Structures are given as structure tokens and as C-alpha cells.
Structure 1
Amino acid sequence: MLRTHTCGELRLSNAYETVTLCGWVQKSRDKGGLVWVDLRDRYGITQLMAEEGVSSEAVLDQVRELGREFVVKVTGKVKEREAKNEKISTGEIEILIETLEILNPAKLPPFLIEDETDGGDELRMKYRYLDLRRNTVREKLRLRHKVGSATRNYLDSQDFIEVETPVLIKSTPEGARDFVVPSRMNQGEFYALPQSPQTFKQLLMVSGFDRYYQIVKCFRDEDLRADRQPEFTQIDCEMAFVEQEDILNTFEGLIRHLFKTVKGIELDEVPRMSYADAMRLYGSDKPDTRFEMQFVELNELTQNKGFDIFDSAELIVGINASGCAAYSRKEIDQLTDWVKRPQVGAKGLVYIKYNEDGSFKSSVDKFYSDEDKKAIAEKFGAKPGDMILILSGETDKVRKQLNELRLEMGSRLGLRNPDDYKVLWVLDFPLLEFDEETNRWHAMHHPFTSPKPEDLSKIESAPGEVRANAYDMVINGTEVGGGSVRIFEKPLQQQMFKLLGFTPEEAEAQFGFLMSAFEYGAPPHAGIAFGFDRLCSLFGGSDSIRDYIAFPKNNSGRDVMIDSPATISEEQLKELGIDVK
């Protein structure tokens, strides 16, 4: 080893020892007769010093040559610092330099390698290898490592086997666009990068591996946002001879283990909510339950009063913004403009203030008496000082709009504390959803999700009413995991493909290998996949998964550091039999 200790290791107990350190120069301070250097590695910072009359002239000259990010090797004696630094673990000692070797000089970096840097996102992404030297970034990757290690420890303790599945596979319709890879040896044919190992983990269940897991890279060619990257990581799991309850208990155990190991938090029992209740009470299948503000439906109390907007609405629904009756007219107008934005899409906003003196003031005073408004307030459980916010329109649209407003009010009122964790299971999703554009049914999760046995009789006559044996885990309004009990019988899988609009020939071409496997004794099985990057960002209190990926892409799907994607040579294209238009 080039070093005897790391830059975060030495303490006062090491005084008078001769040690060798290696690292990067964080900064230096030349006070004439004294020169101090902060030396940094992954483990911490140690202060070095050279002093006129004590250190040799050669050492002093070398130290004064050092610039930021020079890589150096230093040998010297540990001594107690006169001015101690309680902010760092090595703050009681410093190293009196005896010999110094510059292992590699460095150009001046384009931004400060410090916690509070002056580099913007694009600049730091271009020089990501420098950004990764910063403590704040390194700690995020340490957290990612800790989550991965804790995950493996738990699953290993539950008799799961980690099995790798192929990265070059066949393109299958699973919802998102595939990334495709041309085959030189089979010109005109393409591999796809897996959106998930779905069919392979089911095949592993057929193979008798009754508990499989993999922390696996997946790929989807989708537009990017804070919680989405073209390549991402899943904790992918499957179990045989189990029912839904077994999956919920096993993986609630995983989440409990992660919270305890990574965050030191003992989770309460994870509550459960049906998809229907989640949509009715929160307008979302991933409700943020850190705060209440549940939806209250008002059709019975508000229709047939002469207010045309409500009278013609399919659904009138609102939330109680506690303590907001003090909002000014200007603030209410700003909130109205906010819900009218294209991202929300509401046509307007109705408010009812329940003033501190017990009186009411609303934007619909002309149509509703104080008795009407009092009845509405009672239905919300409102108290003086509260303000009720109401939207109306088509049921599905207005629920989504009010969900956005609820989250916005939760943020404005400081109710979405990232250090407060609320975990929830959402169950009983619809099996199918109808697409007006394609005029056919689509699987809400994927084609291998089984219907609830009690709903099987509706699969031909009322497919929209069939519930899936599917489940999602939600933390603080973010879906972190989802899965289902799988179809394992060939006739039911064929029926599902037919319902989704596959011809027998198309189903055979896409999934014949799986259907064939089902004929050789497929066991009942079920599984789940967690978004590993999302879990890391939640544990780290961040909105962006990009912060927890060593070399992420930007919002255009580019790696600006290596300038990828990029064109390839004409010779490579010719070998692949591809013309680029």
C-alpha cells in the first residue's frame, strides 16, 4: 500500500507516530512562515503543515507548488493541533510533513470540489468524475450501497437466490418503448434491452427456483423527469407457491428492514387501501398520506341550487385547507390561476371561507345560503379559520385535478416533510383500462397479472369491472414498488391475450416460449419489483433519482461527460446492414 492510514483515520492517540497519507489537495494556506494543506480522500480530510526552520527548504518549496486537486503522497509525524477543528473527525491532529511526493499534478478544476459548489448541473455532469469527489455526492452513493447491502442481507435471510437474467432479449409489448440493439450475425433482426426481467423470473419459477431476486438494470425509452432515467435499477423478486398475503408480508418485512437498517426508523404496521378508495379519497393511486385533507364529495349538497357549473357536473368534490381562511383575495386568485394551468387543467376554483367569527364568505354566495355553506362545512368537519376548496367536472379528470391541488396545498402548508415517512399498500387495481385511441383494452400492469378469482366470471361480459391480484407500495406519494399474482395456467393466459387484442399468431410469436413453459408444470407464483433508485432518493430526502446514480443521463437522455448517444461509423452500419435516414 502507498499509505499507512486514510485521511479520516488519525486521532490524538496516534500522536508522535510517523505515517504516510495519500490523497487530493483540497486547499492550501500560506502564512509566510507556515503553510497548511488540507489533504482529502474518500474517508475524510487531514491537515498537513510545513514550517520554516522545522521543515526542509525542499519540502517548503514543494508544498508551495501544490494546487487544488494535486494527487500527493506525504510522510510525516502526527502532532496535536493548537487550533482544533471540531467540524472534522481528524480535527485534533495535523501532520508535520517530512517528505512529499507529487504523484500527479492537476489542472484547476472547473468548479469547486466542495459541498457548496459553484458548478451548475450541466457543468457538474460534464465533469461527473470531479463531482463525485464532493462529500455530498459521495454520501448519496454510500447510502445507495447501504440500501443494496441491506436488501441482499434481508433477502438472503429469507432463502431467496440471486439469479442474473439476460440483457439482450426479445422485444415484447410491455407498455413503454424498448431500446433495441441490431444483431450483426442476424441482419435485419434486433435484440431489445429488458424493461424488466418479467418473463425470465416467471420461467425461473417454472424451473423450481421458488424464491428469486435480482438487483437488476432495466431500460425504458421514455421521456425523462426527476424520478425517471432511461436506465434504472430494480429490486426484482418472485416467489412460488404463495398468495398475495405472502408477498405483502414478505416485502413489508423488507421495507421494515431497510428503514431500520438505513434510517434507524421502526415502521408501524403498513396500512392497506383499495385502489377505489385511493381514487375516491385522494384522486391518486399513489396518495401522499403524510397529511389528511381527504376528498369530500358534494353532489347532494351543491346541485340543483341554480349554479350551472355544479348542476351540470358529473362530480363536485373538495378539500379542507385547514387554517387558510386568512387567505387574501389576491392569494385566492393566484391559487385559481394555478389550477387553471395546463399541467392541472381545471376551469376554475370555488372557495368557501369559514371565518374565525363563524361567518362564511365564498365565491358562490349568490347561489348558496349560510345554511347551505354550514352544511358543507359540517360535511368536511371544518372549523372556524378553515377554507374549503372545490372543483367540479368529469369524475376522473376532476379527481386528478384536485389531487394536484391537494399536493400543492400540502406543500404550501408545510405538511410534506421529507423526514416524515408514511408507507401504504394500495390493492385491488383494475385488471384492464380502455384506450379510446386504440379502441381496445390494455393491461393496467402487464399481461401476466391474474384477475381476482371472484371476478373471473366478468372477464368476458364486464372486463372493466375485473379487479387484478395486484399491489403497489407507496411511500410519501411515490410508488416505490409494484407487483401481482401471476397467471400460471395456459388457458387463462390465452384468454387474457385475446382480451388484449392479440391474435393467436401474435401471442405465439411474442410469448410462445412462456406459454410452452406453462405446459410443463408451472407453479402458482407472484412477485414484486421495487424502484431501487427511488428508494435511495426517498431515504436521502431528495426528489431526484439522478443524485443517487453514479453516471446519470440529463433530461434529454444524454451523457454529456462521454457525449453519448453518438453516431457510429459507416463501416459499423454496413456490418449491421443498416442505413440511417
Structure 2
Amino acid sequence: MRTHFCGLVDETLIGQTVTLAGWTDVARNLGGVCFIDLRDHEGIVQVTVEPVAGDDASAELFKVAASLGYEDVLQVEGVVRARHAVNDKLRTGKVEVIATRISILNKAAPLPFHAHENPGEETRLKYRYLDLRRPEMQRMQRTRIKLVQALRRHLDARDFQDIETPILTKATPEGARDFLVPARMHPGEFYALPQSPQLFKQILMVAGFDRYYQIARCFRDEALRADRQLEFTQLDMEFAFVRERDVQDFVEDMMRAIFKEVVDVDLAAQFPRMTWAEAMRRYGSDKPDLRIALELVDVAELVKSSEFPVFTAAANDADGRVAALRIPGGATLSRKQIDDYAAHAAKYGAKGLAYIKLSETGEVNSPIAKFFGEEAFAALLKHVGAGNGDIVFFGAGGYTKVSDFMGALRLKAGKEFDLVAEGWAPLWVTDFPMFEWDDEAQRYVALHHPFTAPAVDDIADLRANARTAVSRGYDMVLNGNEIGGGSIRIHRPDMQSAVFELLGIGAEEARAKFGFLLDALNYGAPPHGGIAFGIDRIAALMAGTESIRDVIPFPKTTGAQDLMTDAPSPIAADQLAEVHVQVRAKQV
């Protein structure tokens, strides 16, 4: 149906006859001539229709051109010639196609929006097929496609084996809720959609496959936001006989190569490394954005003897923290803006936000200054590096909570005061805690997942020091986004059983839920480790968009709906009966 793509017609084709196919981007009837911007996935070319006096065929051609509307699907035959008025905005702007034949392959109905408009997200998702025609969306989808292709080439060339794992699998506790699928042939029993291929890839290592990868679809029934979807795509990788540094060095080289190939970005020759404890202390986050130079400063030692009870209580608590964040130039903040910062901190658990504001002339504006002597106050300002024109925010309370909300303020201040440097800031975060305490459940939960190896090999040591145990987990962070997470795995069945026990999973429950894994570890499991990268998130970063929905062809809304297909939707009673499911009426 075509000899060339619209966006690739250039001066080398001048004088030649071409056949094109695409959509009517714009059609302009200027009376004596018609111009059609014909668009396909490669771009736009101008098609010109010039009627010849006394020529019935050209008059009919002009009539067809004059009838065209937005997004009509056309096949055009014509001769390429040089344009009199060059359009530098188009790749094809030095040429045009003089039409000799136009066939309307399909007329388009009146559009809910045009390809060059940017409607609301609900409209975009309802008419996703129109949204995806927009050049910006085409660009972002192409970025994703190039990313996946480059990853496959890179791994295939290095002896990784692309192995599929099941989509219908067993429900296992991995953090989020499972999506459940009723098993028709086994009434009352259910499959689960995989939250990740974690256990299968470990079993592949036991089975002797030295290097595995998969572009894997994963499913988690969790609350949605801009960087989360119910179903998402991972690059899943696993290596046998490796330590942490082996995995990190390999994937670091891979990410440098991929970013160069896909978006022509040179990532750092060596990614910096930082422990989880250091990241939380300096940045209040386990995925710090190093493009923002602001850091948190601990001030507990300077305020523990002050007369401000909020500070003294936290400063004298072994699990407490008092941290300061200096914002250069922040004295310009009004009281209302300071209240906005306090409200933002409250979203992350802050019960209040103290501050010291220093005017350009050194005048102090602070609700907490009265709790300090002159010398102690001066020492505090010196310790945090505050100068005229700055504001310093203070957070006090439990260590984790203070780190969280002060880290959130750091990000807010970095963006609002234009303190985010250009470029790319990759980072390895290592030495995560093995467990964290769940106050509600009154038990430990795994910070990564239950299959992450502890840094210690001795089970008695792990049991005795569970509260402070460090894991062999690691995350790759890029510009404040966790793009990959991995670990060295537990390969000994006795250690795996001990970790289950510390997580409150008894021997009987462990056997019921993870018996297949424990059995596999008993039959000569090699030391192994791996990592999984979020394809959607990396593609979004490469494409320069805040939302992963822009790089997923058919995403769900934050309300977990597919507006185009109207999913989820009710199921007929006979279908439910086949899978032995009854739907209870909603309780009013």
C-alpha cells in the first residue's frame, strides 16, 4: 500500500513517484490549492493538490482533498518536488508531494480531541488509541521500545537466558495483596498472579541455569499513584555464584551502555555507594536525589539541654532524632508558605515544624529562639551553617519518622528553590536493615522480602540481633527514583527457616506456603543473587515524564480502572458459577 514512510520523504526522492499512507493531520483549502499534512509513525510530509484548468481528473482530485477532515486515513500517490517555502520545523520540510491520486481508506468521525491538543487524563485514557497517535506519545512509546530492545541485546550477548515463568502461580505473602484467579477445576481454590518471579528465578538457579533474565509482567493489588500500576513490567535478573559486587558491577555497566544507546546520556563512570543508614541520616530517604545539594544535619547534642521540651525529649531518646534542614535564601518564605511546609511535613507524620529565619540583615524570626541562651543559639546556627537570608527547619521525634518528613521537606525545598541540578545522579544504596518492626502486627516484617540473605552467616547471631541485623540487599537509585532493587538470596534451608521464624511464619505455615522452595534449597542450591529493574520507571525517566502512565500503552487510572475497555466490569452469573464464585451484595 505504500512505497515510503511519510516522515522519511526527502530531497533524494525529488522527481520520483511515491505512494504514501497515513492520517490527515491538517487539511487546508486555500481556494486555488489544497495542502494536506499527511502523518504516519515516522512524521509528517506536505501533500499538495493543484487543480489544472480544464482537467476533470484534477478537479475531482481537488474535490476529494477539499472534503478531508482530521484523522481521515489516506493513501496518496504523487511526485516529490522541492518546496518553494522550506519548513525548518519538519524533517521533510524541504520537499512536498504533488498528489496524482488520493484514496480515502477510512473517514474519521468527529474527534473528541485533536492530535495536537493535550486533553485531561480521563479523556486521554478513554480514547487511548487517539492519545497514542499524538507525536509526544509516539516519542515516549518509542523510547520504551528502544529500552527493552537494548536490554535484550545487551543480555543476550552476555549469555543470559531469557526464561519464562508462570503467570498462574501460588499465593505467597510478598508485601502487597495478590490478584486471585479462581481455579475452575479445583472448586474453592485459587491461583495468584505473580507479584514478581522471585521464587521461580531462585529455583532456576537451583536447576543449574547460571544467568537468567526475563521481561516480566508483575501484578500487585495496591494503591495507585503516578509511579505505580496494578500491573507493571520488570527486567528480572538472577546470577549463580555471585557476591553483591559482582551483580552491581555488571548491571552498572549495563545501565551505562543502555542509557548511552537509548537516550545518548553518559552516566557516571562509577556509581557512588552509600549505606542505607548514611542515606537516611544525610538525606532522610533511602532513595536520595543527589542532584539536590541540601543535607540534613543532626543537632541532638546541641539541643538536649535546651528548654524546648519537644527537642529535649527526642534528643535524649535512644530512638529519637532532632534534625535540621538549612535552605539557602529561604528567608523569603512568608508565614503562609512556612505553614505550607509544615502541612507538607504533616503528611509524612510530623506533629509540628520549628524554624529559624534569618533576614538579610541578620534579624532573627523564630518561635523557638526563646528556648536557647545566646551562646547556645549561636552555636546551633553555626553547626547547621545558617547565614543571613536563610531559613532552617527543625524536626524532632522518632528517628524514622523525622527522617521521612525532613527528607520530604528537602525534596520540596529543592524543587521550589530551583536547587535541583541538571543531569543524572545514579547511586547504589546498600546494607539495608534486614527487618523492620510492625507496631500494628507486633512482629518483624522483611524490609525487602523474606528471601534476602542477612549479612551474617550464623543463625544464632541473627536471632540474637534481629533488631539491628543488616541484609545483603541493594537498590539502584537514579535522580531520587528507585529504579532497581536486588539482593543476595538465602541459599541454605536452615537460614531460610530461621528468617521465616523471625518473621512470625511458623514451620507449618512455611511448609504450606513455601515448601517447594525449602525442598529446592535442600538439593544443592548455589549461592545466588539478582536484581529487578522497573521498566516503566526507567522509560519514564528516559522520556522525561513524571508519570509512568505516559510510557505504558494501556495503563489504569489511579482508581484502578481501564477507561477504554471499561474494566473491571460485572461478570455474568453463569460464568461465576463455572468458577464456583458467589458475589456478596455490598453492605450499605
TM-score range, shorter chain: over 0.9
Q: Secondary structure of the equivalent of 2:86?
A: coil
Q: Does 1:463 align with 2:462?
A: no
1:23-102 equivalent positions in 2, closer than 5 A? 23-53=22-52, 56-102=58-104
- Aligned residue among 412, 418, 437 for 1:414: 418
In the TM superposition, what is the alpha-carbon distance from 1:328 to its structure 2 partner?
3.9
| Contact 2:285-2:407 at 8 Å conserved across structures | yes
Q: Which residue of 2 aligns with 1:477?
A: 480
In the TM superposition, what is the alpha-carbon distance from 1:56 to its structure 2 partner?
1.1
1:101-120 equivalent positions in 2, closer than 5 A? 101-114=103-116, 117-120=117-120
Q: Which residue of 2 aligns with 1:238?
A: 238
Cα distance in 2 for residues equivalent to 1:35 and 1:72 = 15
In the TM superposition, what is the alpha-carbon distance from 1:330 to its structure 2 partner?
4.5
1:438-449 equivalent positions in 2, closer than 5 A? 438-449=441-452
| Contact 2:307-2:372 at 8 Å conserved across structures | no
CA deviation digits over 1:232-285, x for unaligned, max 9? Answer: 000100000111110111111121112211222222211111111111112211
Per mean C-alpha deviation after superposition, the further-off stretch among 231-240 and 317-326 is 317-326
Cα distance in 2 for residues equivalent to 1:487 and 1:317 = 36
| Contact 1:441-1:500 at 8 Å conserved across structures | yes
- TM-score of the two chains, using structure 1 as the length reference: 0.96
Letter in 2 for 1:57: A
- TM-score of the two chains, using structure 2 as the length reference: 0.95
Q: Secondary structure of the equivalent of 1:325?
A: helix
Q: Does 1:502 align with 2:505?
A: yes
Cα distance in 1 for residues equivalent to 2:287 and 2:335 = 32
In the TM superposition, what is the alpha-carbon distance from 1:369 to its structure 2 partner?
3.9
Q: Which residue of 1 aligns with 2:317?
A: none
Cα distance in 2 for residues equivalent to 1:256 and 1:439 = 43
Letter in 1 for 2:97: I
| Contact 1:322-1:387 at 8 Å conserved across structures | yes
Letter in 2 for 1:372: A
- Aligned residue among 345, 355, 370 for 2:349: 345
Q: Secondary structure of the equivalent of 1:534?
A: helix
Q: Secondary structure of the equivalent of 1:366?
A: helix
In the TM superposition, what is the alpha-carbon distance from 1:531 to its structure 2 partner?
0.7
C-alpha distance 198-571 of structure 1, shift in aligned 2 (>3 A): same
Q: Does 1:403 align with 2:399?
A: no
Cα distance in 1 for residues equivalent to 2:190 and 2:295 = 49
CA deviation digits over 1:73-103, x for unaligned, max 9? Answer: 1111111212221100111111111111111
Cα distance in 1 for residues equivalent to 2:451 and 2:349 = 34
Q: Which residue of 1 aligns with 2:295?
A: 294
Q: Does 1:387 align with 2:386?
A: no
In the TM superposition, what is the alpha-carbon distance from 1:142 to its structure 2 partner?
0.3
Cα distance in 1 for residues equivalent to 2:351 and 2:188 = 50
Cα distance in 2 for residues equivalent to 1:205 and 1:334 = 51
Letter in 1 for 2:49: A
Number of aligned residue pairs: 575
C-alpha distance 182-334 of structure 1, shift in aligned 2 (>3 A): closer
In the TM superposition, what is the alpha-carbon distance from 1:359 to its structure 2 partner?
5.2
CA deviation digits over 1:11-52, x for unaligned, max 9? Answer: 122111111111111111111111111111101111111122
Letter in 2 for 1:65: S
- Aligned residue among 322, 326, 333 for 1:316: 322
Q: Secondary structure of the equivalent of 2:9?
A: coil
In the TM superposition, what is the alpha-carbon distance from 1:539 to its structure 2 partner?
1.3
In the TM superposition, what is the alpha-carbon distance from 1:331 to its structure 2 partner?
3.6
Q: Does 1:567 align with 2:570?
A: yes
Per mean C-alpha deviation after superposition, the further-off stretch among 306-315 and 121-130 is 306-315
C-alpha distance 329-124 of structure 1, shift in aligned 2 (>3 A): closer
Q: Which residue of 1 aligns with 2:9?
A: 10
Q: Does 1:327 align with 2:338?
A: no
In the TM superposition, what is the alpha-carbon distance from 1:53 to its structure 2 partner?
1.8
Cα distance in 2 for residues equivalent to 1:347 and 1:447 = 33
Q: Which residue of 2 aligns with 1:304?
A: 305
Q: Which residue of 1 aligns with 2:177?
A: 177
Cα distance in 1 for residues equivalent to 2:161 and 2:179 = 28
Q: Secondary structure of the equivalent of 1:63?
A: helix
Per mean C-alpha deviation after superposition, the further-off stretch among 498-507 and 270-279 is 498-507
CA deviation digits over 1:471-508, x for unaligned, max 9? Answer: 01111111111111111111111112222222222111
Q: Does 1:203 align with 2:203?
A: yes
Structure 1 segments unaligned to the other structure (5+ residues): none
C-alpha distance 465-336 of structure 1, shift in aligned 2 (>3 A): closer
In the TM superposition, what is the alpha-carbon distance from 1:548 to its structure 2 partner?
0.3
In the TM superposition, what is the alpha-carbon distance from 1:358 to its structure 2 partner?
4.8
Q: Secondary structure of the equivalent of 1:384?
A: coil
Q: Which residue of 2 aligns with 1:19?
A: 18
| Contact 1:455-1:467 at 8 Å conserved across structures | no
- Aligned residue among 370, 377, 383 for 2:381: 377
Letter in 2 for 1:541: G
Cα distance in 2 for residues equivalent to 1:179 and 1:537 = 25
CA deviation digits over 1:360-386, x for unaligned, max 9? Answer: 443323222443232122212333332
Letter in 2 for 1:222: E
Structure 2 segments unaligned to the other structure (5+ residues): 315-319
Q: Which residue of 2 aligns with 1:518?
A: 521
Q: Which residue of 1 aligns with 2:283?
A: 282
C-alpha distance 229-94 of structure 1, shift in aligned 2 (>3 A): same
| Contact 2:284-2:404 at 8 Å conserved across structures | yes
Letter in 2 for 1:377: L
| Contact 1:455-1:466 at 8 Å conserved across structures | no
CA deviation digits over 1:334-392, x for unaligned, max 9? Answer: 4344434xx13323222223444455443323222443232122212333332221121
Per mean C-alpha deviation after superposition, the further-off stretch among 571-580 and 303-312 is 303-312
Per mean C-alpha deviation after superposition, the further-off stretch among 171-180 and 563-572 is 563-572
C-alpha distance 17-557 of structure 1, shift in aligned 2 (>3 A): same
C-alpha distance 372-461 of structure 1, shift in aligned 2 (>3 A): same
Letter in 2 for 1:108: P
C-alpha distance 455-433 of structure 1, shift in aligned 2 (>3 A): farther
Q: Secondary structure of the equivalent of 1:29?
A: strand
Cα distance in 2 for residues equivalent to 1:162 and 1:334 = 49
C-alpha distance 153-84 of structure 1, shift in aligned 2 (>3 A): same
Per mean C-alpha deviation after superposition, the further-off stretch among 500-509 and 234-243 is 500-509
| Contact 2:456-2:462 at 8 Å conserved across structures | no
Cα distance in 1 for residues equivalent to 2:9 and 2:49 = 18
Cα distance in 1 for residues equivalent to 2:457 and 2:191 = 39
| Contact 1:14-1:78 at 8 Å conserved across structures | yes
| Contact 1:321-1:409 at 8 Å conserved across structures | yes
Letter in 2 for 1:24: W
C-alpha distance 503-344 of structure 1, shift in aligned 2 (>3 A): closer
Q: Does 1:250 align with 2:256?
A: no
Q: Which residue of 1 aligns with 2:428?
A: 425
Cα distance in 1 for residues equivalent to 2:189 and 2:359 = 69
Cα distance in 2 for residues equivalent to 1:326 and 1:61 = 64
| Contact 2:83-2:96 at 8 Å conserved across structures | yes
